[in-house]
Every structure is written in C-alpha cells, then in structure tokens.
Amino acid sequence: MSKTISGFSKLSKSKKIDWIANTYFSNQENAKSIMKQYWNSNEKLQQLHDEFIENTITNYYLPLGVAPNFLINDRLYTIPMAIEESSVVAAASKAAKFWLERGGFKTEVISTTKIGQVHFIYKGKKSHLETFFDVVKPVLLKEVKLLSKNMEKRGGGILDIELRDKTEDIADYYQLHVSFETADAMGANFINSCLELFAKTFKAEAMNFEGFNSEEKQIQIVMSILSNYVPDCLVRAEVSCKVEDLTENENISAEEFANKFVQAVNIAEVEPYRAVTHNKGIMNGIDAVVLATGNDFRAVEAGVHAYASRKGKYSSLSHAKIENGVFYFWTELPLALGTVGGLTNLHPLVKLSLEMLHKPSAKELMQIVAVAGLAQNFAALRSLTTTGIQQGHMKMHLMNILNQFKASPEEKETLVNHFKTHTVSHSAVVEALEKLRQ
C-alpha cells in the first residue's frame, strides 16, 4: 500500500530506491536491480547526472542516433538526434540524401528577439501610469546594467521596455513587455533575473512617485517571467528543385507527386485535425535535435504550437507550391535555442553533439534544427502521398516487436529477411515468430 514519507529528499540514492521498491513493487529485488542497472559506472559522471534534477534514483536512457548527408547552405552536416521513435532518424537521413542531390537546404535567420513580461495590477488613472512609466524607464535600464553587462559583451542585452494596457482582458491588468537579445544563450535565467529586478525597481519607484495618489502607489506585482512564445525569433528553411527532378518512385510521375504533395500541405493548412499530426511529424525532427543539443524541447514545442495558431486557427507549419515548373517546400519557425549555458556546458553527449555540428552559434543551430523538422516533414509527406506511411514505419517497428518477444539474433535475421517481401503487422510478426519456433 502507498504511504507518505517525510524527509525523502534527504535520503541517499540507495535509501530512496529501497523505499520506492518496498512501497510500490511486488518483486522488490528486481525493481532495485533495474534501477541500479542504469546507473553509470563512472562515479563522477553519475554524480553529474544526479545533480541535474532532484530526487534522482537512476538514469532514463534515450538512443542517440545520427542522420548524415545534410547539405545546409552548401555545408555538410551529420545531425545528432535523441529520440525513441522508430523510423524518425531513417526518414530524416533519406530526406537528407534526396535533397543532397538537388542542391540541399537553404536557410536564414529572420529575427532573434525574445520576450519577457512583468505582470502587474494598477487601479489608478492610465494617464498617470503612462507618465510614471516615461520617468521610470531610464531608471529600470540603469538598474539592470550590472546584470546585462556580460550579455552586452556577447552582443546581447535588453532591446526595449514597453508599457502594455491589458485592461480589456482583465480589470486593472498591465504589463511591462520587455524584448531581449541573448546571443548564443537561450537566456532564460538572464531574462528572468532582469525581469525580477525590473519588478522590484518599478514597485519601489512607484512608492516615491509624486504623480501618484496613495492608491496608485500600491502597484501589485503578480509575477515576472520570460515567455516561451517567440514569434520574433524566427528561422526559415527551404528546399526547391524543378518538378521534373522530383522523380524517384517508378509508380508515380514527378508531376503527379508534386501536385499530391502540395495538396497534402494545403490540407494541413486548413484542417486542424490533419495539421496537428502534420506538425507532430515536423516536431519529431526538431525535438530530437533540440534534446541532443541540451535545449528545452518543451519550451520549443509550446512556442511552435502557439505560432501555428497565431492567426486564430491551428495550421500547418510548412508550406509548398509549384511555380513556373519549380517545386518549393519551406517552413518558418520560432526557435529560441542556445549553445552556451545550461546543459550545453555540462552534459558530455551534448558537448559531443555540438562539436559534431561544427560548434554552431545559436543562429546556426536554429537553422540546423529547422532543417531537421523540414526534412522529417518531407519524408512523411512523401510516404503518405506514395506508398502510405505504414510500409516504411512498420518495417522500422519490426525490431521493437521482435525484441518484445525476446527473439534471438538468428530469429531476427530470418524474420528481417522474411518481411522484406511481406507486410509487417504486429500479428503477422508474432505468427511468423511462433511458426519459426515450432
């Protein structure tokens, strides 16, 4: 039976595991064995992992794969991808090879502005608040100089502070809307530290402002926090070629393939049920590289999906057209990424991944990540509009099914060969395996 525990965080890792195993598992020794099996034998490395988060009991591994042959702005990349889903790395690699022979991917960073906000309640006259803001804005920028000094040396800093009236949404609600440039850092800690200082200074200065009456002096700070919605931190990735050069599948002409492909993208632009799955495929590529490079895939996901809804309806993140006999396929994405700070300086595999990518700047990483998403989307749409998604996906899923039923190396070899010419399904694999074992 489950039970509460006091002082859990103060227990050693072994004691934490003992309590969890004794409380939740019928086979306690097996549970302990599995958790300890995933500890790293290198004590220093394990301690590093233990200190990433709180109450660590073990490590949860994901495969780190690579997708080679990406030509991006005429430079070759092998892209690291941390992901557990079958076929994602293979699909990205196949798309990379396809476009390698057609000029590769072209990318550009459109903008890199990030946003943070101080949310506050003010019950006085708006005109008084606007007068106060004009007076206090230079004070806010001066107060934060010490915090922003190092960021400014790296080419970043605070771009602007705006006062925003949100009283139509919530009574007496206003914001300090602050724009930042954080150079090669994702910048979350820098942004939040600046915002909290702004809030403290803003409230303190209000108490001494002669233009406020006693009620207006009582500005209530609700919270100060960065936003993961970054519509002005944009990157574009694109591929293009003559329609006639799209031919690769003997069962469909290049022109028919191009038209079906564009129609598939058009459907995702207008149909939210399709757009969500369409964009999920894009995020398969994006998340895998974001995770491999030590960035926050949850923040990226939230920002990207908000961007997909910016016009009031959830829509496709990618677009396609045929113009004067040329096929174009592109995406514009909001990506707030970093190559310094956080896990980028701590996790050994993150360091390895970044070195594999030629030690990119944050802007270069934005472009690489966008390409991974576009490549993944191209591969998925190519399958959907030709052979269907299941043919390739299920063949990649074959090994998972065989491992589930503890197939031997010999059995795996036999069945992999068998399913080169047979349709893969869970029941078909189980039946073939049982037949082989008889």
End-of-domain residue from the set 176, 204, 226 = 226
Write down the pTM of the prediction. Answer: 0.88
Take residue 51 and report the two structure tokens written for it: 């200190």
**Would residue 196 show up in a list of annotated catalytic residues for this protein?**
no
- Which residue range forms the structural domain that includes residue 184? 114-226
pLDDT score at 251: 79
Clarify whether residues 252 and 322 are in a common domain.
Answer: yes
Place of tokens 């149909």: 271
Residue 117 has pLDDT above 90, yes or no: yes
pLDDT score at 391: 57
pLDDT score at 114: 97
Using an 8 Å Cβ cutoff, are 380 and 329 in contact? no
Clarify whether residues 380 and 400 are in a common domain.
Answer: no
End-of-domain residue from the set 203, 226, 249 = 226
Clarify whether residues 424 and 368 are in a common domain.
Answer: no
CB atoms within 10 A of CB 407: 20
Clarify whether residues 103 and 44 are in a common domain.
Answer: no
Percentage of the chain exceeding pLDDT 90? 83
**Would residue 177 show up in a list of annotated catalytic residues for this protein?**
no
Residue 5 is assigned to a structural domain of this protein: no
How many independent structural domains does the chain possess? 4
Clarify whether residues 275 and 424 are in a common domain.
Answer: no
Clarify whether residues 33 and 86 are in a common domain.
Answer: no
Which of the following is catalytic: 85, 256, 271, 411? 85
pLDDT score at 389: 60
Residue 427 is assigned to a structural domain of this protein: yes
pLDDT score at 421: 78
Residue 189 is assigned to a structural domain of this protein: yes
Q: What is the pLDDT of residues 18-29, one digit of tens each?
A: 999 999 999 999
Which of the following is catalytic: 280, 305, 319, 412? 280
Clarify whether residues 91 and 120 are in a common domain.
Answer: no
Reported residue count of the chain is 438
Residue 4 is assigned to a structural domain of this protein: no
Q: What is the mean pLDDT of residues 104-114?
A: 97
Residue 232 is assigned to a structural domain of this protein: no
Which of the following is catalytic: 296, 347, 364, 397? 296
Residue 161 has pLDDT above 60, yes or no: yes
pLDDT score at 400: 78
Using an 8 Å Cβ cutoff, are 374 and 104 in contact? no
Clarify whether residues 211 and 347 are in a common domain.
Answer: no
**Would residue 393 show up in a list of annotated catalytic residues for this protein?**
yes
For residue 209, what is the domain's CATH number? 3.30.70.420
Clarify whether residues 247 and 369 are in a common domain.
Answer: yes
SS3 of 94, please?
helix
Q: What is the pLDDT of residues 165-214, one digit of tens each?
A: 999 999 999 999 999 999 998 899 999 999 999 999 999 999 999 999 99
Clarify whether residues 367 and 423 are in a common domain.
Answer: no
Which of the following is catalytic: 16, 119, 347, 393? 393
Clarify whether residues 279 and 314 are in a common domain.
Answer: yes
Clarify whether residues 100 and 246 are in a common domain.
Answer: yes
In whole angstroms, give the CA distance from residue 433 to residue 273.
37
**Would residue 232 show up in a list of annotated catalytic residues for this protein?**
no
Residue 343 is assigned to a structural domain of this protein: yes
Residue 66 is assigned to a structural domain of this protein: no
